[in-house]
Amino acid sequence: MIIIKTDREIQLMREAGRINAQAHEMVKKLIKPGVTTKELDKAVEDFIRSKNATPAFKGYHGFPASICASVNEEVVHGIPGDRVLEDGDIISIDIGTIFQGYIGDSAKTYPVGTIDHQAQRLIEVTRKSFYEGIKFAKEGYRLSDISHAVQKCVEKEGFSVVRDFVGHGIGVNMHED
């Protein structure tokens, strides 16, 4: 169940989200051919800890890393390791941050070097569908309105939504439903 948050709780969630966004900006600069997903994980963990926060994923249901690093065909929850990024790959980096007990969580997909047209389209359509969904993230609309807008946009562009991995609420718990 998603519990309505106080102004103070929302502020703490914003700060967790801000740290998360800064971690994405930092890791984006490190993504290039020849880097391992384990190196990206270490850099993000060090960054989050430098902000007096904690990586939310590490140890969560036994997850061994601070980020999820899903390369190419991996849909979600890729475990960082010795995999070396290659020119033409795309990588989804999912980062979770706990700041004073509140969670920030976001995933972004990045190109590695030069990517092909289809991979670039996937990234662009994903971004476009995100903003289509945001249009319905306000009072008077339901979660299903957001989902419908995203799915409609994605399918119009010839892609599909992986229905089992479409998001979750956050707060003091990683997955608030």
Cβ atoms within 10 Å of 7's Cβ, excluding its own: 6
pLDDT at 32 over 80: yes
Which pLDDT belongs to residue 101?
Answer: 94
In sequence order, the β-bridge partners of residue 36 are 84
- Gap between the Cα atoms of 18 and 95, Å rounded: 12
> In this predicted model, what pLDDT tens digit does every residue of 85-102 receive, in sequence order?
999 999 999 999 999 999
Q: How confident is the model at residue 117 (pLDDT cuts 50, 70, 90)?
A: very high
pLDDT at 174 over 60: no
pLDDT at 162 over 90: no
In sequence order, the β-bridge partners of residue 105 are 96
> In this predicted model, what pLDDT tens digit does every residue of 120-135 receive, in sequence order?
999 999 999 999 999 9
Tokens of 68: 């999820």
Both ends of the chain: CA-CA distance in Å?
A: 5
Nearest to 23 by CA among 102, 105, 95, 71: 95
Name the DSSP letter for residue 84: B
Enumerate residues 6+ apart whose C-beta is below 8 A from 9. 102, 171
**Average pLDDT value for residue range 108-114:** 97
Tokens of 41: 């994980």
Helix or strand or coil: residue 140? coil
**Average pLDDT value for residue range 26-30:** 98
**Domain 7-156 is in which class?**
alpha beta
